[in-house]
Chains A and B, each alone.
Chain A
């Protein structure tokens, strides 16, 4: 559990760092275009692929932070035990769909052999980053289920 906590946190830090790099890259591109008359080649392409690194590695960390967006109004009125069981079932349902997404992304990542048009980067790198992000995200959902059963999370 501890390993997963720190792994997901560090992946979140990577995503955060990329937000800063994205901001600097785009700002530099704008400045270059207007003041130096030399935009950065492939900046918008790079920005697009940075999005992959901003979003997917951070998923597990965000999930473990427990800030997920959901509707509590009805469930809160049920008895504690029912609440706990319903929430576990819902977590398992989420695990089901994200498990499928992870599995199919992994298969697809193995097939991809495109090269990006401007920067000539192999696209598969980014597909793998996404797949790993989803995989750790699934692990974190499993961790949430285990915590809920172990009664660590009292909600």
Chain B
């Protein structure tokens, strides 16, 4: 059997194992190991599995993961998200559809200090949804804005997904962070655009909230300054080259502890819970990453990825058509997997092809995040939709229905990014 055939069979078996419910990290490691044995022999395979876990974990880039996870969990536990909604609501609540727009703004702000979507989803489900119901918002508008805007956390830095993408593809995390910023703001703007269009056509879908005075607007800002400060210090520091991404994460987590403690929002219990949760999350993500590295070793020696890359780049179709194929593949994957697994699982196979097509690795990282985010709120198993449905006890089918107009905004964002890569690449280019 040629190595390429072994590679293809390996991927097929991997998919079967995943659907049989095997732990994703274990399945990747197992297929990687067995495949390596078949191609290179037992001893080299043993040496791969004895080296990979240690060498991949003991890198400086990896230390970013526990730090940003910890920072996000502390801020979530301390209830900063509710404050953000309060501020956004005071500023834009009086506009038509304003409470939904406030949700998007609060999610974007929350995204600027956390790296995963669950804090925003749970917080907004508990804070923003009751507020919108009080003002008789259309449920579809309310649910859709929460479910989709929650995903901004993966795009607006700090983002755990962009870190993992950077680690696996050897792309600069600092640059990826900067690349995610403008598309994230753009997407938030598009979401608000959708809300305005809906409420323009059907004003009853999102009536205006109560008027607020300029004074109360200013006062409400005092709830938000810690977020803005943390964001400016962490991202500003990374942008200016004052910090490495790891240092940004450590200072950010430390800052989050100090600020939430000073605001008397952080009990010892909450601190402990945040820490333990971060440890477990880190361990599970790392198992995935170790699995992905072992799988990558196998795919590299199988020459399968090289073969596929050559095949694809020799195809007589425009790059953008192939890219459209990748888009569809990711949307399908996003339906079955959470965003972190989807990225870790596909990078070993797809990244070499994308590079062979001549796409920019930083631009592609941003693209992948938006793509998988779409899958997170679409049936059959959009993870974010399920998480939100669990947090607020609403049938998930209602959430799937509610996100449709917002998905249109994500598609527009993808098209804009494909047409104007500078949206993502300009900011990192100025570093």
Q: Which residues of B contact A30 (CB under 8 A)?
A: 243, 247, 250-251
Within 8 A of B (CB), among A39-93: 44, 47-52, 54-56, 58-59, 61-62, 65, 67-75, 86-87, 89-90, 93
Q: Are B21 and A70 in contact (CB under 8 A)?
A: yes
Chain A CB within 8 A of B62 CB: yes
Chain B CB within 10 Å, residue with most, of A12, A94, A108: A94
Among the stretches B46-54, B361-369, B407-415, the one at the interface with A is B46-54
Q: Are A86 and B21 in contact (CB under 8 A)?
A: yes
A127 to B54, CA, bound (A): 7
Q: Are A58 and B282 in contact (CB under 8 A)?
A: yes
Q: Are A47 and B280 in contact (CB under 8 A)?
A: no
Interface string of B250-274 (1 = CB under 8 A from A): 1101100000000000000000000
A151 to B53, CA, bound (A): 33
Chain A CB within 8 A of B30 CB: yes
Among the stretches B173-181, B301-309, B335-343, the one at the interface with A is B335-343
A23 to B59, CA, bound (A): 16
Q: Which residues of B contact A107 (CB under 8 A)?
A: 50
Q: Are A29 and B247 in contact (CB under 8 A)?
A: yes
> What's the minimum C-beta distance from A54 to chain B, rounded to whole angstroms?
6
Chain B CB within 8 A of A147 CB: no
Given contacts A23-B254, A87-B21, A101-B49, contact A62 B284 (CB under 8 A): yes
Q: Which residues of A contact B22 (CB under 8 A)?
A: 70, 90, 93-94
Of the candidates A69, A73, A75, the one whose C-beta lies within 8 Å of that of B24 is A69
CB-nearest residue of chain B to A86: B20
Name the interface size band of chain A: 35 or more
Q: Are A108 and B250 in contact (CB under 8 A)?
A: no
Q: Which residues of B contact A62 (CB under 8 A)?
A: 279-280, 283-284, 287
> What's the minimum C-beta distance from A24 to chain B, rounded to whole angstroms?
7
Of the candidates A71, A90, A96, the one whose C-beta lies within 8 Å of that of B336 is A71
CB-nearest residue of chain B to A34: B242
> What's the minimum C-beta distance from B5 to chain A, rounded to whole angstroms?
22
Q: Are B283 and A90 in contact (CB under 8 A)?
A: no
Q: Which residues of A contact B92 (CB under 8 A)?
A: none
Of the candidates B17, B19, B60, the one whose C-beta lies within 8 Å of that of A93 is B17
Among the stretches B63-71, B213-221, B420-428, the one at the interface with A is B63-71
Chain B CB within 8 A of A22 CB: yes
> What's the minimum C-beta distance from B218 to chain A, rounded to whole angstroms?
32
A62 to B23, CA, bound (A): 12
Chain B CB within 8 A of A153 CB: no
Chain B CB within 8 A of A16 CB: yes
Q: Which residues of B contact A19 (CB under 8 A)?
A: 66-67, 70, 275, 278-279, 282
Q: Are A71 and B279 in contact (CB under 8 A)?
A: no
Of the candidates B30, B246, B282, B340, the one whose C-beta lies within 8 Å of that of A26 is B246
Q: Are B336 and A69 in contact (CB under 8 A)?
A: no
CB-nearest residue of chain A to B24: A69
> What's the minimum C-beta distance from A25 to chain B, rounded to whole angstroms?
8
What DSSP secondary structure best describes chain B's contact surface? helix
> What's the minimum C-beta distance from A128 to chain B, rounded to whole angstroms?
11
> What's the minimum C-beta distance from A94 to chain B, rounded to whole angstroms?
4
Q: Which residues of A contact B66 (CB under 8 A)?
A: 19, 22, 51, 54
Chain A CB within 8 A of B276 CB: yes
Q: Which residues of B contact A20 (CB under 8 A)?
A: 275
Q: Are B251 and A71 in contact (CB under 8 A)?
A: no
CB-nearest residue of chain B to A129: B54
Q: Which residues of B contact A89 (CB under 8 A)?
A: 20
A87 to B246, CA, bound (A): 38
CB-nearest residue of chain A to B338: A69
CB-nearest residue of chain A to B51: A108
> What's the minimum C-beta distance from B148 to chain A, rounded to whole angstroms?
22
Chain A CB within 8 A of B352 CB: no
Q: Which residues of A contact B125 (CB under 8 A)?
A: none
A86 to B18, CA, bound (A): 12
Q: Are A55 and B57 in contact (CB under 8 A)?
A: yes
CB-nearest residue of chain A to B52: A101
A134 to B26, CA, bound (A): 13
Of the candidates A55, A73, A130, the one whose C-beta lies within 8 Å of that of B282 is A55
Interface string of A1-43 (1 = CB under 8 A from B): 0000000000011011001101111110110001000000000
Q: Are B29 and A71 in contact (CB under 8 A)?
A: no
> What's the minimum C-beta distance from A40 to chain B, rounded to whole angstroms?
12
Q: Are A126 and B54 in contact (CB under 8 A)?
A: yes
> What's the minimum C-beta distance from B385 to chain A, rounded to whole angstroms?
13
A-B contact pairs, 18 of them (CB 8 A): A16-B279, A20-B275, A23-B67, A23-B254, A25-B250, A30-B243, A44-B60, A48-B60, A52-B57, A62-B279, A68-B284, A69-B284, A71-B337, A86-B20, A94-B26, A97-B30, A98-B29, A134-B53
Q: Which 9 A-B pairs have the closest CB atoms?
A: A26-B250, A94-B26, A104-B50, A58-B283, A90-B22, A62-B283, A108-B50, A97-B30, A75-B21
Besides A19-B275, A105-B49, 9 other A-B contacts (C-beta < 8 A) = A19-B67, A49-B58, A52-B54, A54-B66, A68-B284, A72-B21, A73-B19, A74-B19, A97-B30
Q: Which residues of B contact A (CB under 8 A)?
A: 17-27, 29-30, 33, 46-47, 49-51, 53-54, 57-60, 62-63, 66-67, 70, 242-243, 246-247, 249-251, 253-254, 275-276, 278-280, 282-284, 286-288, 336-338, 340-341, 380-381
